[in-house]
Amino acid sequence: MNSLPLSELMAADRQHVWHPYTAMPNDLPMFAVKSAQGVYLELEDGRRLIDGVSSWWTCIHGYNHPRLNQAAQEQMGKMAHVMFGGLTHQPAVQLAQKLVEMTPAPLQNVFFSDSGSVSVEVAMKLAVQYWHNRSKPGKHKFLTIRKGYHGDTFATMSVCDPVGGMHHLFGDRLAPQFFADAPQIPFHGTWDDSDIASFEQLLIAHHDEIAAAIFEPIVQNAGGMRFYHPEYLRRAKQLCEDHGVLLILDEIATGFGRSGELFACSHAGISPDIMCVGKALTGGFMSLAATLTTTHISETFAQGEAGVFMHGPTFMGNPLACAVSLANLALLESYDWQGTVRKIEMQLRNELEPCRSLAAVKDVRVLGAIGVVELHEAVDMAIVQPMFVEQGIWLRPFGKLIYTMPPYIIQTKELRRLTQGICQVASQITLKSPD
């Protein structure tokens, strides 16, 4: 493939390519990547940027890792893809075994899909069809918590925050769900039962309509990068059991060590009925996600009206993605990832804390390999994004949030350059004058 000159490349991009969360034509600054290695992105103009968001939280071992490349190359020599209907293969079976081994014990069955949003769609369909199989078709709604985010497809949009989220424009087209108040007690705060009261009241009043409760454990990610108390999760689990409602945990962003535990639900010592994983599953190599559930739930489907689970993505169980995922998880288990994440957490705490004194900053918070600087006002991406590039770092703020989720392989000096860049840019942001 012949490369386009940079000016021609950017002109064609502007004319034809629709990027996420943009309009056409796209007026936001755009930066063309030529290659990537380790924690660095090399731009077409020769600049090198430290990627502080792991390509939307996926590349936990950085770019172009030789072990992941080798796994892909070996699998491509056999087959890149084969349909999963009526056929199976080594990478998918072994990956399912590995996921069952890594996740909490009751989770025994794995349904593969192409993306995180689809894995949540699968989880929601599983819950609805499960109750239908048990002759309770009235249980088809969902209970969730405000400030959450679960994806951009229609079912997932219905359980995202209905007001402050990204999908309020579609509100009158989405299935109505039940929304409890978002947890307010922070991760290291002092627990008070009032924090779970809204969730409990809705569950008591509507459990006969609710198929499952669904939320992100411990870390509300794209809905605000908020870290809440593990006791909330423990209480929610018990309430779901008491009232005959399934619990779905969306571990797409938090899975595979990001919060300091392998899965965020481990902070609370609980297991869900259904779990969604994705993002870091392949180490950012390509798209793959999975929905895990219990034998109790899966065994109801043969006895239901349909006799099967009514879902089947075309690229389900893609051998190439599964092979790379196996290599990625083996790589994660080959070193002290938990110690590595603790080290990143300590450095983020120490080096982001000075931001707290800045006029534009409302809060600074850190959990595991997640660092957040929350501003008083939303950032102007057209201004702020180039400021980070000038610092030699790649971050993608949204709303009022400047955050970093660096690759686990990041070194101390590289992480310091990230944190210094965040502080430098935050110090240059001025609050708007009141009208």
Whether 335 is catalytic is no
Tokens in use for 101?
Answer: 């081994």
**CA pair distance 312, 330, nearest whole angstrom:** 27
**CA pair distance 366, 348, nearest whole angstrom:** 7
**Residue of 114, 161, 195, 250 marked catalytic:** 250
The number of C-alpha atoms within 13 Å of 226 and in the hemisphere containing its C-beta is 19
Q: In whole angstroms, how large is the CA radius of gyration of the chain? A: 22
**CA pair distance 427, 416, nearest whole angstrom:** 16
Whether 408 is catalytic is no
Q: Are 105 and 294 in contact (CB under 8 A)?
A: no
Spatial CA neighbour of 221 closest among 195, 248, 253: 253
Whether 63 is catalytic is no
User: Which amino acid, residue 211?
Assistant: A
How many helices and strands, by DSSP H and E, does the chain display?
Answer: 13, 16
Whether 250 is catalytic is yes
**Residue of 21, 45, 172, 193 marked catalytic:** 21
**Residue of 149, 228, 232, 408 marked catalytic:** 149
Where b means 16+ CB within 10 Å and e means fewer, 367-377 reads bbbbbbbbbee
Residue 143: strand, helix, or coil? strand
Residue 268 Rama label (left phi>0; alpha psi -120 to 50; beta): alpha
**CA pair distance 307, 256, nearest whole angstrom:** 33
**Residue of 279, 400, 403, 408 marked catalytic:** 279
Residues labelled catalytic: 21, 149, 250, 279
